[in-house]
Chain A
């Protein structure tokens, strides 16, 4: 069984702080990595994708990938209360046929 592991949280950070979310995966054949944000009662929303080792920045979000360690992370700088949500990590083997999701990390940003 190919797995994606995330700390379920809840993770609480004060407004303006950096939130750090982590994810590990078991399939070394994974090629594409994604972070989704899911508000309560809503569907997942894609916020970042990363395909090669290193960092990828988009606004306040930075995704980090280390394929050797089978580890992907998401940093949220200057956290806002509107960032409070569940963050899902997903991986794909670039066949388009199988996507594996973690159970998600619940983030609360305290004003």
Chain B
């Protein structure tokens, strides 16, 4: 079984550029989560979707961040314009029937560096 697939694995961009991170959840999973990981703040939940609908985006740092899930097999996280403080590893994760009922499966992350 393919796990959660994220692309790209690494992204280096200059400040001010638009960045788009992509995620393909595990087939059949109805929840999708975007997390950000940094040394200082650990794992932070940015936003999550249930059946392609955004449920809670209270973790999105500011308006420069946006996420979409046009269908059950694809989601994007966009940062426009990017800033150096956005440098982090961004994880996508998916689960079935919510995290309390089934394991949360993480992708291998996208390491973003904004110079």
Q: Do A and B bind each other?
A: no
A interface residue numbers (CB < 8 A to B): none
B interface residue numbers (CB < 8 A to A): none
